[in-house]
Amino acid sequence: MARAAARLPLARIVEAYGDHDMAAPSAAAVLATRGILELSGADARTFLQGLVTADLGRLAPDRAIWAALLTAQGRCLAEFALVEDGPRILLDVERAGLEALARRLALYKLRAAVTIDDRSAAWTVLALPDPAAADRFGLPAERGACRRLDDALVFVDPRLAALGVRALVPTDRRDAFLAAQALAPVDAALWDRHRLALGVPEGALDLPPEKALAVESGFLELDIVSLTKGCFVGQELTARMAHRGLAKRRLVPVRVEGPLPPPGTIVRLDGREVGEVRSGRDDRALALLRLEALSAGPLEADGARLRPELPGWIELGEKSLT
């Protein structure tokens, strides 16, 4: 069954993308599609703790986290990194969904002492898709490790250390930061190839708002959901899926042979619908697939053949709930 699907260790996946300069140690991908939402005020931390999936008790000057805001039915509205910046909490979120997230948070605010501001113009988000990038900044190679570097905030990706390092840099200091760190700005395509090869979802194409379920999307393994922190919006259904093994599909990386299918393309097995393609680039994509299709191949999507290649972090046993 699904356990027989091809699995690749993270190191081998990283090597496989060497022909794309994926792990070039001097490259910093400029993520223009990301924005920054700033939460400040005496109640900001407790306000978020009752809403999002991650435990805000773990957020600290030396520890970034990744979290999601779900609907009451446990479906993802948005996912984002959280970084502590003095008295403020910065949310690194997809820019296209930032306004909707700010509105949703404002609905929950009531009388809480929280101010919500769009600070996207003030900050630039960079990604260094090099598993060894932590060394460059004196960070331990563990997910979420964070530090301030002058006026920038740098942290190992809280979802998977192999993703590399992210940096929130004041926009007016971006060029100075890159020069000081001997980094070359590159297109975000470099980041996409790295992320897709490792099978990590990000943004609305991978996690369609009000559609994607946390357990199916790997949020438990990626440390985006805490089932021990207490209540959060959508907690009941998420916990039930986790503990009862109710997930019948998983979002997984696939190798694409043929033309890259656009997001939303139906995946078929012997003519039967078994899933759909999410985001992709070159010969890599993410696809939400029924578990029985993971090792049943060949899979077909709009004339292309798809071959699931599961990295070691994806668990199809007890924890990931099949």
Q: How many domains does the chain have?
A: 1
Q: Is residue 276 part of a domain?
A: no
Q: Is residue 4 part of a domain?
A: no
- Containing domain of residue 190, as a range? 10-198
Q: What is the CATH number of the domain that holds 15?
A: 3.30.1360.120
- The token pair at 200 is 């990590």
Note the pTM of the prediction, 2 decimals: 0.91
Q: Is residue 19 part of a domain?
A: yes
Q: Is residue 85 part of a domain?
A: yes
Q: Which amino acid is at 153?
A: L
Where are the extended beta strands (E) located within 51-164? 65-70, 76-85, 88-94, 115-118, 123-128, 146-149, 152-156
Among 189, 199, 196, CA closest to 280: 196
Please tell me whether the peptide bond between 263 and the residue prior to it is cis, using omega within 30 degrees of 0.
no
What does the alpha-carbon distance between residue 292 and residue 251 come to, in Å, rounded to a whole number?
A: 13
What does the alpha-carbon distance between residue 72 and residue 234 come to, in Å, rounded to a whole number?
A: 4
Instruction: Write the CA distances from 292 to 53, 123, 240, 248, 296, integer angstroms.
Output: 28, 44, 22, 9, 7
Instruction: Write the CA distances from 155 to 7, 169, 207, integer angstroms.
Output: 28, 12, 23
Angle, CA 20 vertex, CA 16 and CA 24 arms, to 5°: 95
Q: Is residue 123 part of a domain?
A: yes
Angle, CA 167 vertex, CA 191 and CA 61 arms, to 5°: 135
pLDDT of residue 317: 56
Q: Is residue 284 part of a domain?
A: no
pLDDT of residue 244: 77
pLDDT of residue 59: 98
Q: Is residue 228 part of a domain?
A: no
pLDDT of residue 23: 44
pLDDT of residue 188: 93
The pairs formed by 226-231 with CB atoms below 8 angstroms and a separation of 24 or more are 226/53, 226/54, 226/55, 228/55, 229/49, 229/54, 229/55, 229/57, 231/50
- The token pair at 25 is 């140690």
- Which DSSP category does 163 fall into? G
Which residue is associated with the tokens 């990590």? 200
Q: Is residue 274 part of a domain?
A: no
Query: Tens digit of pLDDT per residue, the chain (322 long)?
Result: 334 455 555 444 444 443 344 445 689 999 999 999 999 999 999 999 999 999 999 999 999 999 999 999 999 999 999 999 999 999 999 999 999 999 999 999 998 999 999 999 999 999 999 888 999 999 999 999 999 999 999 999 999 999 999 999 999 999 999 999 999 999 999 999 999 999 999 999 999 999 999 999 999 999 999 999 999 999 999 998 887 777 789 999 999 999 999 999 999 999 999 999 999 999 999 999 999 999 877 899 999 999 999 999 998 754 433 3
